Amino acid sequence: MTLTITGLRVAIRDTQILSGIELALHKGQVHGLAGESGSGKTMTGFAVLGLLPHGARASGRIELAGRDLLGLPDKELNRVRGNDIAMVFQDPSTSLHPMLTVGRQLTEHMRPHLGLGKAEARERALELLTKVRIPNPAEAYRRYPHQFSGGMRQRIAVAVALACDPQVLIADEPTTALDVTVQAGILRLLRGLCDELGLAVLLITHDLGVMSAIADEVSVLRDGLVVESGARKSVLRTPTHPYTRSLLEDLP
């Protein structure tokens, strides 16, 4: 087991956002988190990263390698966020800085977090660009995000997320903003990286089609609670909860 969430509750002011989430992520597996808009998918990812909105109160346990992330001081949580857990967002421009070259964005966290020198960091950056299938990595290293297509930008955002060799990758609607023709490529890439690097991936999506393409396990979230969880085949083929059945019936 890589990351375990138990009894996670989050409230913002008087509103209960998450009401006792139970979730386990495993090395080399993609865990899909499904549910309608507002069910709490993104908040679950933010809680794991310690990025909840200001004023949010969280309780429960988020355990990674024997440590409860909810109890960590900010400084240590920052280190976990850099080294152990990374996130990819729906819109790559959220994770990529428009004014910095791809090379700078890939290497700037790598150097302090992995203790690499300039040349070593560049070498690792080029390897990562190759891994996410960016053509001509040496040239891409010198370019800026706007010089790439949306799909290529998302690949670069994935490379940046992997820069410090995390164990856990949270991908929040990673294909929703992309043209349908490039969506499958990004999903294949995530699946391949999960297998190759032994990553534990939390794939957040409202799209059960995306889920069925790459998830090993699926949890269905409703109003801040997991109502159904299990192997992808059983949840998507023989759902037991009426809410999961209604989500599947709504599929085109």
Ligand X SMILES: Nc1ncnc2c1ncn2[C@@H]1O[C@H](COP(=O)(O)OP(=O)(O)OP(=O)(O)O)[C@@H](O)[C@H]1O
**Interacting residues toward ligand X by CB under 6 A:** 12, 17, 35, 37-43, 53, 206
In this structure, how many other beta carbons lie within 10 angstroms of the beta carbon of residue 228? 20
Which residue lies nearer to ligand X by CB, 53 or 198? Answer: 53
Task: State in angstroms the smallest separation of the CB of 51 from ligand X.
Answer: 11
Which residue lies nearer to ligand X by CB, 53 or 209? Answer: 53
Element (H, E) at 139: helix 137-142
Q: Is 245 helix (H, G, I), strand (E, B) or coil?
A: helix
Which residue lies nearer to ligand X by CB, 34 or 199? Answer: 34
Which residue lies nearer to ligand X by CB, 107 or 205? Answer: 205
> How far is residue 221's CA from residue 20's CA, in Å, rounded to a whole number?
11
Longest Cα pair distance anywhere in the chain, in angstroms? 56
Which residue lies nearer to ligand X by CB, 18 or 168? Answer: 18
E-strand stretches of the chain: 3-12, 15-25, 29-34, 56-64, 67-68, 85-88, 168-172, 200-204, 217-222, 225-231
CB 169 within 8 A of CB 202: yes
Task: State in angstroms the smallest separation of the CB of 205 from ligand X.
Answer: 8
Which residue lies nearer to ligand X by CB, 40 or 166? Answer: 40
Token pair for 144: 């800026």
Task: State in angstroms the smallest separation of the CB of 108 from ligand X.
Answer: 28
Task: State in angstroms the smallest separation of the CB of 247 from ligand X.
Answer: 12
Task: State in angstroms the smallest separation of the CB of 184 from ligand X.
Answer: 21
Long-range pairs of 50-55 with CB within 8 A, sequence gap ≥ 24: 50/74, 50/77, 50/80, 50/81, 51/81, 52/10, 53/12, 55/12, 55/13
Task: State in angstroms the smallest separation of the CB of 9 from ligand X.
Answer: 13
